[in-house]
Each structure stands twice: as structure tokens, then as C-alpha cells.
Amino acid sequence: MKINVIGCGYLGTVHAACLATLGHEVMGVDTDVAKVERLSHGDPGFFEPGLPELLAQALGSGRLSFATEPTPAEVYFLTVGTPQVTDGLAADVSFVHAAIDSILPVASLDAVVVGKSTVPVGTAAGLVDKLGGRALVWSPEFLREGFAVADTLHPDRLVYGLPDDPATACRAQNALDQVYESMLAADVPRLTMNYATAELVKMAANSFLATKISFMNTMAELCECTGGDVTLLAEALGLDARIGPLFLRAGIGFGGGCLPKDIRAVIARATELGVDDTVSFLHHVDAINQHSRDRVVDRALQLLGDEPEGKKVTVLGASFKPNSDDIRDSPALEVADRLHDQGAEVTVTDPQALFGVHRSFPHLHTESDITAALTGAELVLLLTEWQEFSHLDPQATIDLVERPQLIDGHRLLLRRNQPTPLWPPQVCSNSIGGHVQPNLPLGFRRVLEMQRTDEPQMYIDNALRL
């Protein structure tokens, strides 16, 4: 099919490359001339495992191209950003409007427009008139950074929010079914519903995930003050089929470009709808998330004897999660920045995100070599779950630092399979989530470690077999 993907950010670039891989003729459209130029040469401009290879393959096949203006197509995907407004909690949907304005001059009346951006409930219904009879579907995207290729090619489900008019709905559904033909043939569940439900699915999914994380972070704090072990607690909870084992990792809270802004957008929309009480718990979810970051800062200051000035602190991790160079609302960088503000001499190291740190936090000292970053540290904080950090050798690290004290913000080092030796408990005793008890069964540890995204390539390889 002939497809335009409007907006070549994270979502759009991955989506365009994946659709071309599935055999469609795809044009990625973005108003940023430099980005279009870069993408045309196969450079995504951000780190995402598997994407450069996929882009190269799709560009090489001749089925993928990039341009600054839309062209006539059968299907237009809207994949522009909906960031938080600067003066409130709501999502800014102006880029969605601009994307529609850009396609109207070239899109024929039988074209199908598919919104994938995360929007407040009610947005799609408000766009129908603007489209002047062209069919609109709202089909939210659930991809995770670090797994974007695999999640796009092999999603858990496809959600179609369809128009009320049965004939238009049928036409739109047929077009999307053709786009996703190979996924449907591989039995990916496809759910059809109205616009509001589709928009709510995305809002609800991210709210629920954020709530799970904040819940576990409150449990981590309870474990710390009672002698519990939050990893074992998560295991016991996760084995309950009604709860499930995923997204129960306690740590320093969620960050990134989605969960924090999306729960705030839900609050803002519920307030507009006059039902803010209904979602008031999300304020707590957000507050607990902030508290999780505060706790790490407090603990670090405590370990520095409440005299951080001039003390050398090494922060392992800058991106908001591993296998990504995205530093938007990164808990790791917030902690690093606050310790810097308090006068500590902070050095940040990260396998992929240091360029972004230079740009957005020029005052922070960065060091790409992990040995150099650790040398002479009086306190080490492990704040992003990169595989590189999990393989740190305890004794070699202890030999490098000035004082052997480490806050493991994700319990990454506390329990690892051999051959990595265990860390001496006294070095990590101030880590998040309480005492470590030595009886974690192997099966559950596999689940936890797979969630830790150690092997993104494995997921991509599996997905490409679709």
C-alpha cells in the first residue's frame, strides 16, 4: 500500500521503517529539513537497537523514503508528538492539527487517516470535521523505547478506534487490515471500538503501568523500614496470576517522554470533564514517583555526611532507561543535577546518552570511560539499568573508588548469576528496596532479567521472524 507517516520522531521513524519492511511503499514526512536529510541517509538521530539496520534495509529496498511534504497516499499515519504544555498538565495536540492541515491539500477523499499519537480522550471526534469526509481511525501505539522495532512488528494487540458511520468504519478497517495483514495472519489480536475507547485504552495503559511502578516503590520503602526484600516481595506478588510478574521492579521511579506526561494529561482531561476526583489517585502516583527520586538524593546526601561540597560522586546512567539515549525526564539525571546543585562534584557516565547530557546539562561533568568515571569516587550511584553496569566487577570497582559506598537505585547489582561475583552487602547497604535475602529462584530471576532488557537484539530477531 502507499503510505505516508507524518512526523518522524521516535514513533514515526520506527513505524515508517517497519511498514516498509512489511512490504508497503512508505514515505516518512517531517517539516525538519535536516532530519529528513539525515533519515534519508539511514541515520535515525537517536539510539534504538535494530533501527539503523532496519532503516538501511528499507531504504535499500526502495520502499522507504523521506520528504518534508506529504504526497498522495492511500493511508496517512499521524505520528507527531503531543508534549505536555508549558503552562499546565495537559497534552499539546497542536502538532496533530498541523499534521492534518499538511495532508489535506494532497489526500484524496477516499484516503484513510490513522492517528497514532497519544491524545486526550475526545480529540479524535473533534478532528472528524476537519478531515472533510476522509475516514479517521484512532489506533494508539504501545511501543517501548529500547524495544521499539520488536514492539511495532510484533505488538501485543492492535487497537482500532473506528468512526460511528458503519460504511466509513468498514472502509477504514479494511484499509488498516491491509496495512497490518501479516500481523493479523500471525494472530496478533485486533480489537475494534469507538474513538473514545481507543483513546482511553492508551491513557489507561500508561496510567496503570505508572501506578504499578509507584505501588512497588511504596512497597520498597516499606521493605526498607521493616527488613523486607522488595525483589522477593515482587516475586511473590508476580506469581499470582491475577497480578503477573511484569512492571513490578522497584527503583528510582519512572521517567521518559511518555509515562510522566501521560498521567498528567489524564488528570488534565478528567479535570476538563469535571471528573477530576475520579483520577485523583494519579496525583499520588506522580507524587510517589517524585518521592522515589527525592529519596535517592536524601540518601546520597546522608552518605556524604550532609556535606556534599566538593565531594566526588559518580552517577552510572543518564538515560531514563537502558537501551535508549533518551534523557527526557530522566530520574538519573534529576538526581545527578540535584547533587551538583548541592555542591557535589558529579561525574555522569552512560553508554549512549552523554551527547544529550552535554546539550541539556552542560554544567555536569561527563566521562565515557567507566573506569575513569569511577576513579576516586566517594559515592557511586547506579541509576540506569544498563547491562554494562550490571557486569561491573565488585573488587575492581572497590579498588578504583575512594570510598566503597554505592547506592543501587534498581537492585541491579545485588543479585546476579555467576560468574559475576556478588557485591559485599556493606557496600550496597543503602540501596533501594531493603535487605537482600539469598533465595531468589532462578525462574523468576529470568523474568526479572529479561525485563531488564539485557538482550534487546533477541526480541528484535524474534519479531523479524514474523
Cβ contact 3:73 at 8 Å: yes
Nearest of 247, 194, 188, 158 to residue 452 by alpha carbon: 247
In the complex with ligand UDX, the residue whose CB is nearer, 138 or 142, is 142
Return the number of the residue (47 or 142) whose C-beta is nearest ligand UDX: 142
Is 77 in a helix, a strand, or coil?
Answer: strand
Task: Tell me how far, at minimum, the Cβ of 299 lies from ligand UDX, in Å.
Answer: 17
DSSP 8-state secondary structure symbol assigned to residue 424: P
Find the catalytic residue in 8, 223, 258, 428.
258
CB of 109 to ligand UDX, least distance (A): 31
Find the shortest distance in angstroms from Cβ 9 to ligand UDX: 12
Q: Dihedral of CA 139/144/150/155: which sign?
A: negative
CB of 328 to ligand UDX, least distance (A): 9
Nearer to ligand UDX, 209 or 379 (CB): 209
Nearer of residues 349 and 453 to ligand UDX, judged by Cβ:
453
In the complex with ligand UDX, the residue whose CB is nearer, 188 or 398, is: 188
* Cβ contact 357:315 at 8 Å: no
The answer to whether 258 is a known catalytic residue is yes
For residue 419, whether the previous peptide bond is cis, meaning omega lies within 30 degrees of 0, is: yes
Within the chain, how many helices (H) and strands (E) appear? 20, 13
Q: In terms of CB distance, is 145 or 224 closer to ligand UDX?
A: 145
Can you spell out the DSSP letters for 306-369? Answer: T--TT-EEEEE--SSSTT----TT-HHHHHHHHHHHTT-EEEEE-SS-HHHHHHH-TTSEE-S-
Rounded CA separation 371/209 (Å) = 35
Q: Minimum Å distance from CB 246 to ligand UDX? A: 7
Q: Which residues bind ligand UDX (CB under 6 A)?
A: 141-145, 206, 209, 213, 247-249, 251, 254-256, 258-259, 320-321
**Minimal distance in Å, beta carbon 55 to ligand UDX?**
19
Determine the residue type at 3. I
- 230, 222, 213, 219: which is closest to 289 by C-alpha? 213
Provide the H-helix boundaries in 31-122: 33-40, 51-61, 94-103
Q: Which residues are the active-site residues?
A: 258
